[in-house]
Structure 1
Amino acid sequence: MLMQTHEARLDSLRQELQRQGLDGFVVPISDEHMSEYIGSYAQRLSWLTGFGGSAGSAVVLRKDSSKGGKGAAMFIDGRYTIQVRDQVDERLYDYCLVPDVEMGRWIAENAGAGAKIGYDAWLHTKGWADRIGKALTKKGMSLVPVEQNPVDAVWEDQPQPSSAPATIHVDEHSGRSSADKRTEVANWLKEEGYDAAVIPALDSIAWLLNIRGTDVERTPVALSYVIAHADGTAELFVAPEKITPELTQHLGNAVTVRQRDAFEGALADMKGKTVSVDPDYGVAGIYQALEAAGAKPVADRDPTILPKAIKNPVEVQGHRDAQARDGAAVTKFLHWLATEATSGKETELSAAAKLRAFRDETGLLRDQSFDTISAAGPHAAIPHYRVDEESSLTIEQGSVFLCDSGGQYLDGTTDITRTVWISGAGEKAKPTAEVRDRFTRVLKGHIAIDRAVFPQGTAGGELDGFARQFLWQVGLDYGHGTGHGVGSFLGVHEGPQRIAKMTGSYPGTGQELHEGMILSNEPGYYKGGEYGIRIENLILTVAREVDGAGFGTDGGRFLGFDTLTFVPIARDMVEASLLTEDEKAWWNDYHARCREILAPQLSGDVLAWMEDACKPL
Structure 2
Amino acid sequence: MTYQSFDDAAQQGHHATRLADLRNRMRQEGLDAFIIPRADAHQGEYVAEADARLAWLTGFTGSAGFAIVTQRQAGVFIDGRYRVQVKDQVDLAHFTPVPWPETRPSHWLREALPAGGRIGFDPWLHSRKEIEAMDSGLEGSGLGLIATEENLVDAIWPDRPAPPVGRARAHDIELAGETSADKRARLAAELKRDGHAAAFLSLPDSISWLLNIRGSDLPKNPVVQGFAVLADDGHVTLFSDPAKFDDDLRRFLGNDVSILHPEGLTPALLDLPGPVRIDPATAPEAAFRLLEQASTHIAPAPDPAILPKSRKNSAELRGMREAHLADGVAMVRLLSWLDQQPAGSLTEIDVVRKLEAFRSEAGIYDISFDTICGAGPNGAIVHYRVTQATNRRIGDGEMLLIDSGGQYPNGTTDITRSLPMGAPPPEAVAPYTAVLRGMISLSRARFPVGVSGGHLDALARQYLWHHGQDYDHGTGHGVGAALCVHEGPIRISRTSDLPLQTGMILSNEPGYYREGSFGIRIENLVVVTEVEAEAGRRMLGFETLTLCPIDTRCVDLSAMARDEIDWLNGYHQRVREALTPHLDDSTCDWLDQATRPLGI
Q: What SS class does the counterpart of residue 146 from structure 2 fall into?
A: strand
Give the TM-score normalised by the residue count of structure 1: 0.94
Q: Hey, what does 2:313 align to over in structure 1? A: 312
Q: Please list, as runs of the form range in 1=range in 2, the aligned pairs for 1:389-538 lying within 5 A after superposition.
A: 389-423=388-422, 430-502=423-495, 509-538=496-525
CA drift at 1:184 = 1.0
Q: Hey, what does 1:602 align to over in structure 2? A: 583
Q: What SS class does the counterpart of residue 216 from structure 2 fall into?
A: coil
Q: What SS class does the counterpart of residue 468 from structure 2 fall into?
A: coil
Q: Hey, what does 2:79 align to over in structure 1? A: 77
Taking the aligned partners of 2:304 and 2:568, their CA distance within structure 1 comes to: 40
Q: Please list, as runs of the form range in 1=range in 2, the aligned pairs for 1:41-440 lying within 5 A after superposition.
A: 41-61=50-70, 63-64=71-72, 71-136=73-138, 138-271=140-273, 273-340=274-341, 342-362=342-362, 364-423=363-422, 430-440=423-433
Taking the aligned partners of 2:190 and 2:444, their CA distance within structure 1 comes to: 35
Alignment partner of 1:560 is 2:562: no
1:467 is aligned with what amino acid? A
For the 8 Å contact 2:400–2:421, the answer to whether it is kept is: yes
Alignment partner of 1:34 is 2:33: no
Between stretches 433-442 and 371-380, larger displacement belongs to 433-442
Between stretches 408-417 and 85-94, larger displacement belongs to 85-94
Q: Deviations over 1:319-366 (max 9, x none)?
A: 1000000011011111121111x431211112111110110112x211
CA drift at 1:317 = 0.6
Taking the aligned partners of 2:351 and 2:172, their CA distance within structure 1 comes to: 34
2:221 is aligned with what amino acid? T
Q: What SS class does the counterpart of residue 490 from structure 2 fall into?
A: strand
Q: What SS class does the counterpart of residue 258 from structure 2 fall into?
A: strand
1:12 is aligned with what amino acid? D
Q: What SS class does the counterpart of residue 100 from structure 1 fall into?
A: coil
CA drift at 1:134 = 4.0
Q: Hey, what does 1:67 align to over in structure 2? A: none
Q: Hey, what does 2:4 align to over in structure 1? A: none
Q: Deviations over 1:1-51 (max 9, x none)?
A: 744211111111112222222222110001111111111110001000000
Q: Identity percentage over the alignment?
A: 44
For the 8 Å contact 2:399–2:425, the answer to whether it is kept is: no
Taking the aligned partners of 1:524 and 1:446, their CA distance within structure 2 comes to: 9
Q: CA RMSD in A?
A: 1.3
Q: What SS class does the counterpart of residue 226 from structure 1 fall into?
A: strand
Taking the aligned partners of 1:418 and 1:384, their CA distance within structure 2 comes to: 14
For the 8 Å contact 2:320–2:411, the answer to whether it is kept is: yes
1:173 is aligned with what amino acid? L
Alignment partner of 1:590 is 2:589: no
CA drift at 1:411 = 0.5
Q: What SS class does the counterpart of residue 352 from structure 1 fall into?
A: helix
Between stretches 364-373 and 123-132, larger displacement belongs to 123-132
Taking the aligned partners of 1:385 and 1:223, their CA distance within structure 2 comes to: 27
CA drift at 1:105 = 1.9
CA drift at 1:526 = 1.3
For the 8 Å contact 1:270–1:294, the answer to whether it is kept is: no
For the 8 Å contact 1:34–1:280, the answer to whether it is kept is: no
Q: What SS class does the counterpart of residue 13 from structure 2 fall into?
A: helix
Match of 1:541 among 528, 531, 537: 528
Q: What SS class does the counterpart of residue 148 from structure 1 fall into?
A: coil
Q: What SS class does the counterpart of residue 63 from structure 2 fall into?
A: coil
Taking the aligned partners of 1:524 and 1:458, their CA distance within structure 2 comes to: 23
Taking the aligned partners of 1:100 and 1:578, their CA distance within structure 2 comes to: 35
2:140 is aligned with what amino acid? K
CA drift at 1:252 = 0.8
Higher relative contact order (CA 8 A, sep 6+): 2
Q: What SS class does the counterpart of residue 400 from structure 2 fall into?
A: strand
For the 8 Å contact 2:64–2:78, the answer to whether it is kept is: yes
Taking the aligned partners of 2:411 and 2:165, their CA distance within structure 1 comes to: 25
Q: What SS class does the counterpart of residue 167 from structure 2 fall into?
A: coil
Taking the aligned partners of 2:75 and 2:477, their CA distance within structure 1 comes to: 30
Alignment partner of 1:612 is 2:599: no
Q: What SS class does the counterpart of residue 483 from structure 2 fall into?
A: coil
2:548 is aligned with what amino acid? V
1:134–1:457 CA distance, 2 compared to 1 (3 A): closer
CA drift at 1:261 = 1.3
CA drift at 1:111 = 2.2
Taking the aligned partners of 2:118 and 2:493, their CA distance within structure 1 comes to: 38
For the 8 Å contact 2:397–2:425, the answer to whether it is kept is: no
Q: Hey, what does 2:3 align to over in structure 1? A: none
Taking the aligned partners of 2:389 and 2:212, their CA distance within structure 1 comes to: 40
Q: What SS class does the counterpart of residue 580 from structure 2 fall into?
A: helix
1:501 is aligned with what amino acid? R
Q: What SS class does the counterpart of residue 173 from structure 1 fall into?
A: helix
Q: Any gaps of 5 or more consecutive residues in structure 1?
A: 65-70, 424-429, 503-508
For the 8 Å contact 1:213–1:222, the answer to whether it is kept is: yes
Taking the aligned partners of 1:135 and 1:313, their CA distance within structure 2 comes to: 45
For the 8 Å contact 2:381–2:519, the answer to whether it is kept is: yes
Match of 2:553 among 572, 596, 602: 572
Between stretches 380-389 and 40-49, larger displacement belongs to 380-389
1:465 is aligned with what amino acid? A
Q: Any gaps of 5 or more consecutive residues in structure 2?
A: 1-9
1:604 is aligned with what amino acid? D
Give the TM-score normalised by the residue count of structure 2: 0.96
CA drift at 1:130 = 2.2
Between stretches 574-583 and 191-200, larger displacement belongs to 574-583
